[in-house]
């Protein structure tokens, strides 16, 4: 269960962030409204939401998931893989101290984005992408092992982050698209297939028995409802323009370690 969630408001220079989407420049005011709707969806799921002020030094800083990994037993500060995002991770430490007594850190040549970390029960899949290197995966695995978790790596070849293409829901069921539909790593699980036209909607969030999904992806919504999930739709057009998905916008803290 998730009780506490941390988000950060989009900065005024949000449109200056990193993107490969070719969907045009995002509208800042519209992004703010969509972010507010996202927060309301989290509250509907029963979460307490800590809202951080925008950090104008970092255009991508609203994508707060990339700077930390949160579990019941510890929080881990990452080392973002993009040069323009280095330093973002330092701004989350004091916030996490409100929820954790033990915070771990990656060091040295490690690079790792939280968007590459997919949790399946007590196992963590680490996407090896352009943003997460082998050293980052190695250090994260060592930290997770120390707390009784297991981890393994998954190549990410065609998309930004692992969770851009596949998300764990519950009861051995994932939702995925593209290179992860027939991926050997997930061959023993049920994978709800998201077709290429709605690939963006593969990045959704299961929170306390509700699945928050991006709006205007009817096939994905139908597939989730048919699989027995309750859905909450949130408009995400401005964040999609910046390669950002629903998971990217929050740090979701498991209830066992919240204060």
Catalytic (active-site) positions: 161, 248
Which residues, at least 6 apart from 91, have a Cβ–Cβ distance to it below 8 Å? 55, 61, 67
259 by Cβ neighbours in 10 Å (0-12 / 13-18 / 19+) ranks as exposed
137 bridge partner residues: none
CB 92 within 8 A of CB 100: no
CB 80 within 8 A of CB 86: yes
- What angle is formed at CA 116 by the lines to CA 147 and CA 109, rounded to 5 degrees? 75
Q: What are phi and psi of 213, to 5 degrees?
A: -130, 155
């Amino acid at each position: 269960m998730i009780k506490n969630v941390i988000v950060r408001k989009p900065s005024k220079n949000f449109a200056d962030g990193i993107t490969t989407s070719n969907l045009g420049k995002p509208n800042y005011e519209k992004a703010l409204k969509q972010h507010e709707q996202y927060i309301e969806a989290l509250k509907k799921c029963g979460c307490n939401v800590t809202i951080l002020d925008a950090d104008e030094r970092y255009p991508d800083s609203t994508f707060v998931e990339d700077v930390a990994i949160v579990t019941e037993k510890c929080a881990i500060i990452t080392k973002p893989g993009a040069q323009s995002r280095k330093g973002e991770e330092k701004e989350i430490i004091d916030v996490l101290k409100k929820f954790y007594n033990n915070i771990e850190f990656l060091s040295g040549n490690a690079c790792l984005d939280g968007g590459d970390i997919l949790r399946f029960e007590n196992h963590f899949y680490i996407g090896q992408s352009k943003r997460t290197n082998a050293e980052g995966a190695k250090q994260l695995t060592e930290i997770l092992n120390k707390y009784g978790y297991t981890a393994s790596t998954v190549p990410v070849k065609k998309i930004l982050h692992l969770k851009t293409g596949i998300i764990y829901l519950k009861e051995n069921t994932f939702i995925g698209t593209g290179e992860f539909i027939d991926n050997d790593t997930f061959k023993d699980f049920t994978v709800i297939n998201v077709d290429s036209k709605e690939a963006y909607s593969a990045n959704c969030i299961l929170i306390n028995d509700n699945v928050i999904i991006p709006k205007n992806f009817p096939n994905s919504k139908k597939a989730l409802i048919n699989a027995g999930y309750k859905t909450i739709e949130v408009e995400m057009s401005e964040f999609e323009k910046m390669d950002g998905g629903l998971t990217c916008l929050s740090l979701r803290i498991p209830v066992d370690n919240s204060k």
